[in-house]
Structure 1
């Protein structure tokens, strides 16, 4: 049994015609029939019967199909791996990052990668996590870092780092206690990631909590960047939400107060790629570098830096 025979079998199974399968594989119809005939002789079973103008797979063909697909896919992946060993000497790596990557020590990710692999071109796509996940699922981006939750269909997800989210205000005192979803829904809010809107993972979590209580969250101002939101909060115009990593950054305005949620709210950072996809060596190295950076940040946060330690979730 050869790979050529298995490819011929799979093409005939899918297309229901030796003629169509031969055209797809670039061989003659006679060669196609011979390949299937030899395969049937080797297994000692009939794989196809003719039903009108279309081939009908037998029970034996149905049983063989999954194993044939696994064998061919495994071989193709191995061949691709061998061919791509040299890709760290060139090529293009496309990787997605969450918009606020700079707050997670990821702002120099490309610089560190490029220093190690100077011949690889890097295309770094920085969008809201929901959009990064969609781009990865469509195959436009090899892999990416996102905040959960995102639509998981077609994706492999590896959680890396969990970061608590706080209510931020110039006036609301933490002494009043944690922020409830009822109080949050009544607050005057400025929210960022205006383009993604309620597809944004952190907003989605809050919206779901509010809906369970029959409440609605309606910001008075929406902007694109967290820095713009924080500047507005610093003036007392409205309140917002940010993660612990933003609170702990130098850019966080000193006059602002942070309040935890009564039911703790977290941004979980994760690495995503398409299911059953093969990452190029360059994308794999970039993903490893990003994961290691977040692991180091999680370990440092576990030592007690900042108002509330963030914990790793792997």
Structure 2
């Protein structure tokens, strides 16, 4: 039993002649008759009897009709859904954002997307980069914007921009000279992303540097958000690290001083997707808009990140 056979059957039942069914389906009358004859052969029962010139459903035909109509309608709706998705008239964009995305993409990405594509559902998840990586690998998200370094097995990764991570303190004497990793390990530290202490990209960079010196990075205070770490540092409870982009934001308190580290450190923003995955049109468009918003802000007077890729690189990555 094929979809073509069921379409011919439903059209014949509706039009009451094979000729009417042929016109509706854009086929020849013999082709419609052949499809129905083969369907009857598979079922082992006639579906129509003739009453004058009109076709009349047999008992078997009456029994089959509602199921055939349901199948034909479902197939049509599926075709329309796929067509809408491909034309961005439907579907869902699923995209992960690094937790500090607002420092780099000032516009409301969801609002910008919805204004362009009002019929597409949006699922934007903002969290630590390690969590975004996990969700992309598992298939809960199609793609995401993260901070490197990450565990990139099973992933395609495209670096987009990099922003310096600086040392921040309310005590001027602590930022007179760029601190090396030894000084950072001995400082009273306030670190953010407490829930992701072992997997957060910035903290992993610090820990890696410390291990090379036979030391470890230990925070006296751990909080979840950078804004909280900056606030505590401004109140004199310790020093912290922060991306330069945050220094240009509304969350950066007065009274703080920032300096580059002796060995400069960077957050690298990157686009990720599962290796070899073909993204849906909606998620592709979300990735393009994220990149566009990143460029718009970082090339403004308040941008601090160095752009690493252009539109051509994005299209090659998404294709």
CA contact (8 A) 1:95 1:124 kept: yes
CA contact (8 A) 1:101 1:107 kept: no
Instruction: Write the distance in 1 (CA, Å) between the matches of 2:118 and 2:127.
Output: 25
Q: Secondary structure at the match of 1:135?
A: helix
Instruction: Write the distance in 2 (CA, Å) between the matches of 1:310 and 1:91.
Output: 33
- Structure 1 residues 274, 84: closer, same or farther in 2, change over 3 A? farther
Equivalent runs, 1:161-310 vs 2, <5 Å: 161-173=161-173, 176-300=176-300, 309-310=304-305
Summarize deviations over 1:33-82 as a string: whole Å, max 9, x none.
xxxxxxxxxxxxxxxxxxxxxxxxxxxxxxxxxxxxxxxxxxxxxx9xx8
Instruction: Write the distance in 1 (CA, Å) between the matches of 2:168 and 2:215.
Output: 20
Q: CA deviation at 1:196?
A: 1.1
Q: Secondary structure at the match of 1:198?
A: coil
Q: CA deviation at 1:84?
A: 6.6
Instruction: Write the distance in 2 (CA, Å) between the matches of 1:91 and 1:262.
Output: 48
Equivalent runs, 1:148-163 vs 2, <5 Å: 148-163=148-163
**Number of equivalenced pairs:** 229
| Structure 2: unaligned runs, 5 residues or longer | 1-78, 310-319
Q: CA deviation at 1:88?
A: 1.5
- Structure 1 or 2, whichever has the larger Rg, is 2
Find runs of 4+ consecutive structure 1 residues off by over 2 angstroms: 82-87, 172-176, 295-301
| Structure 1: unaligned runs, 5 residues or longer | 1-78
Q: Secondary structure at the match of 1:132?
A: helix
Q: CA deviation at 1:174?
A: 6.7
Q: Does 1:89 align with 2:84?
A: no
TM-score w.r.t. length of structure 1? 0.69
Q: Equivalent of 2:306, from 286, 295, 311? A: 311
Q: CA deviation at 1:106?
A: 4.3
Instruction: Write the distance in 2 (CA, Å) between the matches of 1:175 and 1:188.
Output: 13
- Structure 1 residues 83, 274: closer, same or farther in 2, change over 3 A? farther
Q: CA deviation at 1:299?
A: 3.0
- Structure 1 residues 83, 90: closer, same or farther in 2, change over 3 A? closer
CA contact (8 A) 2:105 2:290 kept: no
TM-score w.r.t. length of structure 2? 0.68
Instruction: Write the distance in 1 (CA, Å) between the matches of 2:296 and 2:115.
Output: 20
Q: Does 1:144 align with 2:144?
A: yes
